[in-house]
Amino acid sequence: MTAYLLRRTGQALVVVFGVMVLTFVMIHLVPGSAARASLGTRATAERIALFNAANGLDRPLAAQFVSFVQQAAEGNFGTSYSLHQPVSTLIAQRLPRDGVLLGLSTLLALSVALPMGIFQAVRRGRVADHVLTVVSFVLYSMPDFFFALLLVAVFSVQLHLLPSQAPQAESVAGILADPRALVLPVVTLTLVSVAGFSRYMRSSAIGTLAQEYVQVARSKGLPERLVLRRHVLRNSLLPVVTVLGLSAPTVVAGAVIAESVFNYPGMGLLFFQAATSKDYPVMLGSTLVVGVATVIGSLLADIAYSLLDPRIRYVDA
Amino acid sequence: MPPLLEVRNLTTHIRTRRGTVRAVDDVSFTLEAGETLGLVGESGCGKSMTGLSLMGLLPPGGAMVGDSSVALDGRELVGLPERDLRRVRGNDIAMVFQDPMTSLDPTKTIGHQVAEGVLLHRGCSRAEAADRAAEVLGLVGLPHPRERLKDYPHQLSGGLRQRVLIAMALANEPRVLIADEPTTALDVTIQAQILALLADLRARLGMAMILITHDMGVTAGHTDRVNVMYAGRIAESTGTDRLFHGMRHPYTQSLLASVPRLDQDPGKELPTIPGMPPDLTDPPGGCRFAGRCRYATDRCRTDEPELTGSDQHRYACWHPTDGPLPPSATAAVPRATEAAAPAVHDRPLLEARGLVREFPVRGARIPGRGRRVVHALSGVSLELAPGETFGLVGESGCGKTTLGRLLVGLDRPDTGTVTLDGTDLGLLRGRELRRRRRDLQMMFQDPFSSLDPRMRVGGILREPLQIQGIGTAREQKARVAELLAEVGLPERGAELYPHEFSGGQRQRIGLARALALTPKLIVADEPVSALDVSVRAQVLNLMNRLQASHGLSYIVISHDLAVVRYLADRIGVMYLGRMVEVGSADDIHLRAAHPYTAGLLKAVPVPDPQLERAKLGTGISGELPSPVDPPSGCRFRTRCPLARERCADEEPALRLFGAGHTAACHFPLQQPLPDTPAKAATDASA
Ligand code: SF4
Ligand code: SF4
């Protein structure tokens, strides 16, 4: 078990380094220069040269990459061209806010999607299953931003029930102090994930229900409720856990959209703004954060899997 | 006093998309404490569904209809609210399911799974439930039950898992135990142990048992009375002895006749039951067996026969027969070789010398102990003459499938050679190898998973011709038609997909595919074990006929000794990667020299109640040791009743016991020929 975790962590570190290389290369391949974006189109050649020299952009790519990695290791991602603050400060400010938004919505999504998937599997082929299937497909296929705007149109503009703007407070406590403003962004992200997760859970639970041990559990005289809770839930979770770990990028992509619609000052919004203004250091920093989050996500999924499934846990025993 | 269990007019319907399946139709029987009732029949006859109906565990869409009645000790169970039924389930009536590999929850400890039912019905504390779990696990013969409560199912072998399942069913001392094919997924040796265990427990606990099985041998040895079911109805119901020797229903008669027996005359074709059971969404009027019955008349097709006869013997037939089919009822089988004499040819078709194959153990690599390997084959040699059939038997894990794959070139040995017609296959490469492979074909156990479901049968049969570039498109088409005719399928079958065929027909397709390149040798890995008894006989006859007309050689790998006995001229018995005995079919069956062979034969249930009951012991005790650390000396010594010190120190060499009969044992059951070192013995040690 420990050996397994060490091995997986080692692999994760390698992947993180790969992510750094890839993001660095890709961002520098994108046309358009940071200097122009930052100084405006009418900047003189001299000023551009000066900007490049000041930011080390005139050095060869390899040299730039080495210093990027060195600094990154010290937690230094450079200074934002447009916001004129250290990137690490920006990330440190915003990451906790994303923790709130994504954590809340993922938890909510799971607590809805898992029972819903099992319920649909039990009711497979009946009306309730069909209705929920249609609902999930509609949610799943609707573009995130459209869905967010729809919610705003109905609940803020029409009904005046909820604010259309997310809480703007600096601190996590400040955000949580304004729960009403948090509702729409959280609901948007939750519903989008519920659609996906419940589909996985449904098909996985259908597989589990067909297993002979479920019938055996019933033959002991267990009530169906206990059969589902003790024998179906955990076994159906196994494949879903893996999918969850890999879905981090999708969730982040959703967050970028939701944050810009609701003007929520998180990583997504930061990245969105950085991308439009070609703010390399911020883009690099935030891509790296997302990459690391994805790797950690799948690492956590593997750990959860090995805890849920004794067949994995006992391989080295 | 009412009988312990009384089932009257049980009728179970299952609504599906295709219509209502009348899975069980008007079934009535009684069961007394301490007796075992067999429910016997082929797949789809309603025997399992009867069991599930008694448990109230029908699949979605299933319901007992009409005046179905199930009374336990006079208490009606049909129509009882689910809450009350749950108190009966697992408490008064319990069930053991077929497949021990899938019947245990992989994420829960076995202690938890056994204790779960105790906790539910007895309302005791967790500790008490755990005590009871350890107690029943001990009762079913799990060694050191208390320490193993925390084991997970994947840590146990198939046989031990089946014991755990039985423990689960027995935990609350039920009064009726329903065992649904409890040993079908197990090796014969383990099957014998589990059946003996069930019989012993039934006697000790005074339970009544319903044994659901398709195996006539199991029925003969382990039931008191039998209900033979066909197409959802009881065809015949009587005491076990009378059923085997004085059956009245033609279906029972044909069913028994189509089972290859150990004492079967291999020179005769097996009697078969033509056709297939009727579709139960729309069963035919009249007798449901009429379409396949050799005695059917017009009356049979219009009027449905009721169960008649005495209380001791009831049967539903207008023209009851009397006793088994006479042995003369079947045609002689044309044989390619003289079955009796192990042919001595100038040059064997296939020759394997000292084959060794080892696989690394996945995942588990313990530092300091080096690389661990599974010793799948440890020096196996064999010879096969043209036109000969060689049978390979042994428990699962003995290496017989690995050997089969090596012989057809699907895998390469680590050391040793396979020679076909004088050419060493290991030296061939590329085109030459591919051309040679034509002569070697494989036929698989599961006819469904080995046929591509998205290809039409015509395409499946043409593929090998296309790969080898044989003939024009038109010639290939003609060849496909020819192949289909040869295996007895209609020509338009080429246009259909595999799922449109029944299991037996799919196995015919598998055989046709193997024949497409006119091979010299076909290795058939469990060719009929996935098939129903009546269909099995058809495929076996077909294999025999094709052998005669094409001069084919077969290597038949099977755990079913009767099947091997029927097909094979010579038989090799394998144990843990070694060939322990080789001889003619008669040598093996009548003059077995190796204790393992003798034990294996004893474990095979024979469809004869007297013979079956006269057996003492179960054949072989214990389970196959791990092929990672095989025992020193004779690998069988951990289970051998004759083992002595020498067996652990010294590996026995193959010795000669007669012409073509060799065995590797220090203390054999037969007298070896004096001082004649077997030819094979020198090879094996090489
Ligand atoms: S009733 Fe007729 S068709 Fe049916 S088993 Fe008897 S003889 Fe055969
Ligand atoms: S060599 Fe010894 S242990 Fe092996 S089969 Fe013979 S008697 Fe048994």
> Would you call A310 and B106 a contact, using CB atoms and an 8 Å cutoff?
yes
What spacing in Å lies between the alpha carbon of B595 and ligand 1's midpoint? 46
Nearest-by-CA chain B residue for A232:
B105
Say if CB B182 and CB B162 are below 8 A apart: yes
Report if residue A68 sits inside a domain.
no
Q: Whose CA is nearest to atom 3 of ligand 2?
A: B637
How distant, in Å, are the alpha carbons of A247, B80, B219, B619 from that of B573?
53, 54, 26, 15
CA angle B671, B674, B675 (to 5 degrees): 140
By CB neighbour count within 10 A (0-12 exposed, 13-18 middle, 19+ buried), where does A275 fall?
middle
Give the span between the Cα atoms of B5 and A312, in whole angstroms: 45
> Would you call B168 and A218 a contact, using CB atoms and an 8 Å cutoff?
no
Q: Give the pLDDT of residue B104.
A: 92
Report if residue A106 sits inside a domain.
yes
**HSE (side-chain half, CA atoms, 13 Å) at B465:** 22
CB of B453 within 8 Å of any CB in chain A?
A: no
> Which domains can be identified in chain B, with CATH numbers?
5-84+175-185+207-315 (3.40.50.300), 338-421+521-685 (3.40.50.300), 443-519 (no CATH)
Please report, as a single letter, which amino acid is at residue B5. Answer: L
Q: Give the pLDDT of residue B576.
A: 92
Report if residue A224 sits inside a domain.
yes
CB nearest to A211's CB, from B87, B102, B152: B102
How distant, in Å, are the alpha carbons of B381, B568, B571, B573, B588 from that of B583?
13, 11, 6, 9, 6
Q: Whose CA is nearest to atom 6 of ligand 1?
A: B317
DSSP for residue A154: I
The closest-lying atom of ligand 2 relative to the alpha carbon of residue B596 is 5
CA A279 to chain centre: 22
Say if CB B379 and CB B576 are below 8 A apart: no
Give the span between the Cα atoms of B95 and A35, in whole angstroms: 77
CB of A212 within 8 Å of any CB in chain B?
A: yes
Say if CB B4 and CB B175 are below 8 A apart: yes
What spacing in Å lies between the alpha carbon of B319 and ligand 1's midpoint? 6
Say if CB B7 and CB B32 are below 8 A apart: no
- Sign of the Cα torsion A118, A122, A124, A127 reads negative
CB nearest to A221's CB, from B89, B107, B154: B89
Q: Which domain holds residue A192?
A: 94-263
Alpha helices in B265-360 (DSSP H): 298-302
Tokens read off for B395: 């428990």
Alpha helices in chain A (DSSP H): 2-29, 34-39, 45-54, 61-73, 87-122, 127-141, 144-151, 172-176, 179-209, 212-219, 224-226, 233-246, 248-262, 267-276, 280-308, 310-313
CB nearest to B97's CB, from A215, A223, A310: A215
Q: Which of B26, B2, B31 is nearest to B12 (CA)?
A: B26
Determine the distance in angstroms separating the CA of A298 from the nearest CA of chain B, rounded to an integer: 21
Q: Which of B445, B463, B460, B551 is nearest to B497 (CA)?
A: B460
Average pLDDT per run of 10 along chain B, which is 686 residues long? 90 88 92 94 89 90 90 91 91 90 90 92 90 90 87 87 90 93 85 89 91 92 94 94 92 88 75 82 87 90 90 92 72 49 65 90 55 86 92 89 88 90 82 82 77 87 87 88 86 85 84 88 87 83 88 90 89 94 92 93 88 79 85 92 91 91 93 64 42
Give the span between the Cα atoms of A310 and A314, in whole angstroms: 6
pLDDT confidence bin for A34, thresholds 50/70/90: low
Report if residue A176 sits inside a domain.
yes
Question: Which run of H or of E encompasses B75?
Answer: strand B75-76
Pocket test for ligand 1, best of B319, B321, B322, B325 (most atoms within 8 A of CB): B319
Say if CB B669 and CB B592 are below 8 A apart: yes
CB of B117 within 8 Å of any CB in chain A?
A: yes
> Would you call A308 and B364 a contact, using CB atoms and an 8 Å cutoff?
no
Determine the distance in angstroms separating the CA of A86 from the nearest CA of chain B, rounded to an integer: 46
Which residues fall within 8 angstroms of residue B500, CB to CB, at 6 or more apart? none
Report if residue A20 sits inside a domain.
no
- Partners of residue B63 on adjacent β-strands: B13
Give the span between the Cα atoms of B400 and B663, in whole angstroms: 17
What spacing in Å lies between the alpha carbon of B184 and ligand 1's midpoint? 30
Report if residue A152 sits inside a domain.
yes
pTM of structure:
0.82
Residue showing tokens 């809480």? A167
Tokens read off for B480: 């496909």
Q: Give the pLDDT of residue A33.
A: 61
Q: Which of A96, A98, A97, A76 is nearest to A87 (CA)?
A: A76
By CB neighbour count within 10 A (0-12 exposed, 13-18 middle, 19+ buried), where does B645 fall?
exposed
A219-248 residues touching B, CB cutoff 8 A = 219-223, 230-231, 234-235
Report if residue A216 sits inside a domain.
yes
Give the span between the Cα atoms of B305 and B297, in whole angstroms: 12
CB nearest to A221's CB, from B103, B104, B120: B120
CA angle B140, B142, B147 (to 5 degrees): 135
Kindly report the backbone phi and psi dihedral angles of residue B662, in degrees, each rounded to the nearest multiple of 5, phi listed first: -125, 155
Q: Give the pLDDT of residue A148.
A: 83
Report if residue A89 sits inside a domain.
no
Q: Give the pLDDT of residue A35.
A: 65
Give the span between the Cα atoms of B490 and B493, in whole angstroms: 5
Q: Which of B91, B105, B116, B168 has the most A C-beta neighbours within 10 Å, making it the best mutation to test the interface with A?
A: B105
**HSE (side-chain half, CA atoms, 13 Å) at B670:** 24
- For A296-301, the CB contacts below 8 A with 24+ separation are A296/A12, A297/A244, A297/A245, A297/A246, A297/A247, A297/A248, A298/A12, A298/A245, A298/A246, A298/A248, A299/A8, A299/A9, A299/A12, A299/A245, A300/A245, A301/A241, A301/A242, A301/A244, A301/A245, A301/A246
Determine the distance in angstroms separating the CA of B82 from the nearest CA of chain A, rounded to an integer: 9
Tokens read off for A276: 């439009």
Give the span between the Cα atoms of B411 and B396, in whole angstroms: 19
- The domain spanning residue A164 has which CATH number? 1.10.3720.10
CB of B106 within 8 Å of any CB in chain A?
A: yes
**HSE (side-chain half, CA atoms, 13 Å) at B613:** 10
Q: Whose CA is nearest to atom 3 of ligand 1?
A: B290
Pocket test for ligand 1, best of B317, B321, B325 (most atoms within 8 A of CB): B317
CB of B162 within 8 Å of any CB in chain A?
A: no
Tokens read off for B597: 């062979």
Give the span between the Cα atoms of B188 and B559, in whole angstroms: 7
Tokens read off for B522: 């076909």
Within B214-297, strands assigned E span: 225-230, 233-239
Q: Give the pLDDT of residue A84.
A: 80
- Partners of residue B62 on adjacent β-strands: B14
Provide mean pLDDT across the span A292-317. 76
Give the span between the Cα atoms of B348 and B233, in whole angstroms: 52
Give tens-digit pLDDT for A171-199. 777 777 787 888 888 888 888 888 888 98
Q: Give the pLDDT of residue B51.
A: 94
Q: Give the pLDDT of residue B336.
A: 46
Residue A170's CB: how many other CB atoms inside 10 A? 10
> Would you call A219 and B89 a contact, using CB atoms and an 8 Å cutoff?
yes
Q: Give the pLDDT of residue B338.
A: 44
Which string of DSSP letters, residue by residue, matches B150-204? T--GGGS-HHHHHHHHHHHHHTT--SEEEEESTTTTS-HHHHHHHHHHHHHHHHH
Buried b or exposed e, range B472-500, using 16+ CB within 10 angstroms? eeeebbebbeebbebbebeeebbebebee
Tokens read off for B4: 């312990």
Tokens read off for A205: 């639970």
Give the span between the Cα atoms of B678 and A7, in whole angstroms: 53
Give the span between the Cα atoms of A220 and B208, in whole angstroms: 18
Residue showing tokens 């085997």? B244
CB of B165 within 8 Å of any CB in chain A?
A: yes
Find chain B residues with C-beta within 8 A of A311's C-beta: 106, 152, 154
Mean pLDDT estimate for chain A: 82
Give tens-digit pLDDT for A94-142. 888 888 888 888 899 999 999 999 999 999 888 999 999 998 888 888 8
Q: Which of B669, B659, B666 is nearest to B678 (CA)?
A: B659
Q: Which of B96, B55, B48, B47 is nearest to B78 (CA)?
A: B55
Tokens read off for A67: 């210093």
Residue showing tokens 């070139």? B409
Question: How many structural domains are present in chain A?
Answer: 1
Provide mean pLDDT across the span A150-177. 80
Pocket test for ligand 1, best of B249, B293, B301, B314 (most atoms within 8 A of CB): B293
